[in-house]
Amino acid sequence: MNFDKHFRMHEEDAIAYAREKLSFFPEGADLSCNEIGDGNINYVFRVADKQTGKSVIIKHADVQIRTSKNEISTDRNRIESEVLQIQGKLAPGFVPEVYSYDPVMKCLVMEDLKSYENLRYELIEHKTFSTFADDITSFMAKTLIETTDAVMHPKEKKEYVKRYINPDMCDISERLVFTEPYFENPKNNVTSGNEEFVKQELINDSALKLEVAELKELFKNKAQSLVHGDLHTGSIFVTEGSTKVLDPEFAFYGPAGYDLGNVTANLIFAWANAFVTIEDEKEKAAYLAWLEDSIQKVTDQFKTKARAVLSEKATEKFISMDEFANWYVEDILTDAAGIAGLELIRRIAGGAKVADIKNIEDTEKKILAERICILSAKEFITNRKSAFKQGSEYTAVLNKYAGKL
Ligand code: SR1
Ligand code: MG
């Protein structure tokens, strides 16, 4: 095999690929391989030297989506590889190191974060991470603000806009996040017992749908920052004291608030899971308090750090006017609130579910968690322009519905 023509790789191909194309392992190394991908789209191989334990990750893109088998561009693999490297320069230490990218086999070869765990599953197990909010807000302030043309030269930024146009992946988000949950569709697979609620609160609410349509226009047209584009807790790996962001295959030039809103919404899924599943009152109060503190810090620390990046690095002359710089950051927070609402809704009333909610075994508890998320989401969307410039406003809404329902 010389890997000069693309095909869908399996574990044995990844071993052969590592031997032939990578200089990572010594000749004759006894290699093993496991396919460890748990996402919907790609194949992720961990290739390891059985003797030394040294290992590498090969992320491989096929021409079909892994779950649906629908056709999809493999350019996402190039975008992921390049964006990881850009993010690594802007926010050192927050992404895995990229070793190589193969444009023929669509293989992104990168550091194996063996000692890290997927944040979504850690939160479901009610674990806490003392530096998470600080880490993720540093990552977002740097990668989002430093790729705007408030900081970059406008011509250089427009080159990025062109290079990271990502039509197939944006099409997925435009359908799954911004459209399907608001129309009847059997693929939405709504939890039994919540169908009427979803119909009433989402499909029949034309005022809400107008706001959603406005946010969809924003997503399609606001080429503000090089966004990660899918920054949910399954794209984040953690260990105590360190955070790594993976999987920017949905990256494109979009509203900076897209990433911020996704982080907030996915912490809220963890909150809703903990609210309905933790039985011991003391344990529950402590865990909800940590999550609420994290949810608040995501907004509050991002706001401070984004402002600091602008003060330090802006090339746009108007940023020196405090009123404009403040408006610039608040505008991102407005978008983030709308996006947080959309992400909460689409993971419950749309096709792509999250384990925090999907895996709640007791149906009554699951229905309750879903309703808290949906009603809160509606407030985030409809009141985004006048509220949610402070993190405590998000947790106040959650607690309001948790107390009511
Ligand atoms: C077909 S892809 C479904 C979802 O998984 C990804 O992680 C994105 O969130 C996408 O919407
Ligand atoms: Mg992903």
Q: What is the pLDDT of residues 268-300, one digit of tens each?
A: 999 999 999 999 999 999 999 999 999 999 999
The pLDDT, as a whole number, for residue 197 is 98
pLDDT of residue 404 exceeding 90: no
CB crowding 118-143: b at 16 or more within 10 Å, else e: bbbebbbebeebeebbebbbbbbbbb
Ligand 1 pocket residue status of 172, Cβ below 6 Å = yes
Instruction: Tell me the per-residue pLDDT of 219-259, one tens digit each, with 9 for 90 and over.
Output: 999 999 999 999 999 999 999 999 999 999 999 999 999 99
Residue nearest to atom 1 of ligand 1 (CA): 40
The closest-lying atom of ligand 1 relative to the alpha carbon of residue 67 is 1
**Which-ligand-closest: CA of 76?**
2
What mean pLDDT, rounded, does the chain reach?
98
Measured in Å, residue 40 CA sits from the centre of ligand 1 at 6
The pLDDT, as a whole number, for residue 72 is 97
**CB neighbours of 403 closer than 8 A, spacing ≥ 6?**
none
Measured in Å, residue 252 CA sits from the centre of ligand 2 at 14
Of 320, 336, 317, 327, the closest CA to residue 380 belongs to 336
The closest-lying atom of ligand 1 relative to the alpha carbon of residue 235 is 7
Q: pTM, whole model, 2 decimals?
A: 0.98
The pLDDT, as a whole number, for residue 396 is 98
Residue nearest to atom 2 of ligand 1 (CA): 40
Instruction: Tell me the per-residue pLDDT of 140-166, one tens digit each, with 9 for 90 and over.
Output: 999 999 999 999 999 999 999 999 999
Measured in Å, residue 90 CA sits from the centre of ligand 2 at 21
The pLDDT, as a whole number, for residue 176 is 97
